Amino acid sequence: MGTWLKHDVITVVNAPLENVWDTWSDLDSMSLWMSWIESVKTVDEETNTLPDLTEWTLAANGFRFKWKAQITERVEKSKLKWKSIGGLPTEGSVIFESKTDQITTVNLAITYELPKMIARFMEENILGKMVTNELQANIDRFKDLVEKNYTKNFSN
C-alpha cells in the first residue's frame, strides 16, 4: 500500500456553462491545454467491455506513459469522475458550476497513489507544488481556450 496524494485547482471561466462543458468533453482538444498530455482517445466500444473507457498518453521530459481511465460518474454539465484501470492508481474529478449566465467555475481534483517513500518526498518537497502548479497552468490554458472560442463564436 502506498500513500494517496491529492491536488486541487480551480479557475473561473468567463463563458456559459454549456461552452465550458462542451470544451472539456472534446477529448481531441485536451492536448491543446494539457501540456503533459499527448493524446486522449475513446477506446472502441465494440472491442471493450467497460463503458466510458479512454486511453491517455502522457509525454514529458523524454518519458512516455499510457494508461486507461474509466468514467465512474457523469452528471451532464455538472460533474465528471474517473479512475485509472491498471497502471498507476489515479482518480480525478472535475466539477462545473454556473455562477451566472456568463461565468462558470471549474474545480479539478487529481489523486494518485505513490509508494510511501516517494510520496513523502513529494509532500515535503517542491515536487508536490510543481504538480499543483502544472495542473493550475493547464486549467488556466483551458480557461483561455474556452474564452477565446466563446468570444470568437459570440462575435460572429
Residue 84 confidence (pLDDT): 94
Residue 22 has pLDDT above 80, yes or no: yes
Q: What is the mean pLDDT of residues 28-57?
A: 82
Q: Is it the case that residue 46 has pLDDT exceeding 80?
A: no
Find the mean pLDDT for residues 108-124: 80
User: In the prediction, which pLDDT does 15 show?
Assistant: 97
* In CATH, 3-155 is 3.30.530.20: yes
Higher pLDDT, 12 or 152: 12
Per-residue pLDDT, 102: 96
C-alpha cell at 100: 451566472
The residue among 116, 54, 47 whose CA lies nearest residue 80 is 54
pTM of the complete model:
0.86
- Give the model's pLDDT for residue 38: 92
Distance between CA atoms of residues 139 and 92, nearest Å: 14
Q: Tell me the average pLDDT across 96-111.
A: 97
User: Which residue, chain included where needed, has cell 482538444?
Assistant: 29
